Homo-oligomer: A and B are copies of this chain.
Amino acid sequence: MEVVHIGFDIGGMSIKAGLVDKEGNILYKSTRPTPSGDKGISFIKYMRELIDELIAYSQDNNLKITAIGVAIPGIVDNKEGSLTYANNLDLEYPFQIKEKLKDYGFDFYMSNDANVACLAEQKFGAAKGKKDAILLTLGTGVGGGIVIDNKLYEGNEGKGAELGHFVLVVDGLPCTCGRKGCFEAYASATALLRLTKEIMMENKDSLMWEYCDNDINKVTGLTSFECSKKGDKAANLVVDTYVKYLGEGILNICNVFRPETVIIGGGISNQKDYFINKIVNYCEKYHYGYKNTPKVEIVAAKLTNDAGIIGAAHLLDF
């Protein structure tokens, strides 16, 4: 009987679950909406429904489930298998998950979603074949994942790898974490939007206004990049400023970890080559951080929607 793991990818909108094999193939998947309002009762109920559905499929298809892995957007306690806190989930914290699924008898492991995405990319995606990889997801915040020597590095209780929360500018912009000047406050998609809007307000003749129908609320993470490609000066300023801070953060990661690969994920990475080349060009200016040392590849994430399920299923060894 082929061994498979269950991988859960939990988000603010949906709970996705899949049966994944050793090679990272999803053999079956299903989903539920992420519930709210009942202190997590429906949350666990939906997880259990999904597990039951996957067990039924496994029995019909001669598959043996041995483990459950969970990717979750928040701060976990990986020893307890509980969620310490998650901004986007309506639960009471700490929220036990492992405990409430233990009657199934499967091995269980839970990790932060950026950690899981990094593991998936290192095993099956943009850093396949590399033993070290660092992933940055540029979204509402900046998520970080660290794989060292083919193994996820999560820090004590799984509370490390918070790569959005190293200070890049002492006394800089306020961060949601309470410190000032965190990398996240300069390199998240949120930061890019803020910067785009600021520079648009100072440059009323910028092409960016036309690009968003003169409605600043229609600004997206693509606005500055698209207009920069067309040579708009204000857009160039946005992109260059954003790339500078992102580049400084990546150089920090290079000096601290000297990994084989840095993977950039999140919506902005859809700009792929244009964006990645700008970052590489920035980093190449600095010998100590980047040149004259073993090459650090900077690449866009490759796996898209299924990275969470696949990575979660591979949190435990096959």
Least CB distance from A160 to B in Å reads: 3
**Cβ contact within 8 Å between A157 and B258:** yes
Q: Does A55 reach chain B (CB closer than 8 Å)?
A: no
**Cβ contact within 8 Å between A156 and B258:** yes
Known A157-B258, A159-B294: A289·B165 in contact at CB below 8 Å: yes
CB-contact partner of A170 in B159, B245, B257, under 8 A: B245
A162 to B258, CA, bound (A): 9
Q: Does A31 reach chain B (CB closer than 8 Å)?
A: no
**Cβ contact within 8 Å between A168 and B167:** yes
Chain B residue at smallest Cβ distance from A260? B156
Q: Does A230 reach chain B (CB closer than 8 Å)?
A: no
Q: Does A169 reach chain B (CB closer than 8 Å)?
A: yes
CB-CB contacts of A155-192 with B at 8 A, as 1s and 0s? 11101111101111110100001110000000000000
**Cβ contact within 8 Å between B248 and A170:** yes
CB-contact partner of A259 in B156, B172, B255, B287, under 8 A: B156
Chain B residue at smallest Cβ distance from A151? B149
Q: Which residues of A from 202 to 259 have beta carbons under 8 Å from B?
A: 244-245, 248, 251-252, 255-259
Known A166-B166, A286-B178, A289-B165: A294·B258 in contact at CB below 8 Å: no
CB-contact partner of A165 in B153, B177, B288, B296, under 8 A: B288
**Cβ contact within 8 Å between A255 and B162:** yes
A160 to B294, CA, bound (A): 10
Known A178-B288, A252-B167, A289-B177: A155·B245 in contact at CB below 8 Å: no
Residues of chain B lying within 8 A (CB to CB) of residue A251: 167, 179
**Count class of interface residues, chain A:** 35 or more
A167 to B172, CA, bound (A): 13
Residues of chain B lying within 8 A (CB to CB) of residue A153: 148
Chain B residue at smallest Cβ distance from A131? B156
**Cβ contact within 8 Å between A168 and B165:** no
Least CB distance from A183 to B in Å reads: 9
Least CB distance from A156 to B in Å reads: 4
A278 to B168, CA, bound (A): 22
Residues of chain B lying within 8 A (CB to CB) of residue A156: 132, 258-260, 293-294, 296
**Cβ contact within 8 Å between A165 and B255:** yes
**Cβ contact within 8 Å between A293 and B157:** yes
Residues of chain B lying within 8 A (CB to CB) of residue A157: 258, 293-294
CB-CB contacts of A257-291 with B at 8 A, as 1s and 0s? 11110000000000000000000000000111100
Least CB distance from A191 to B in Å reads: 13
Residues of chain B lying within 8 A (CB to CB) of residue A293: 156-157, 159
A178 to B163, CA, bound (A): 23
**Cβ contact within 8 Å between A166 and B260:** no
Point out residues on A near B: beta carbons under 8 Å. 132, 144, 148, 153-157, 159-163, 165-170, 172, 177-179, 244-245, 248, 251-252, 255-260, 286-289, 293-294, 296
8 A-B contacts, Cβ less than 8 Å apart? A144-B256, A148-B153, A156-B258, A157-B293, A160-B255, A162-B255, A163-B256, A165-B289
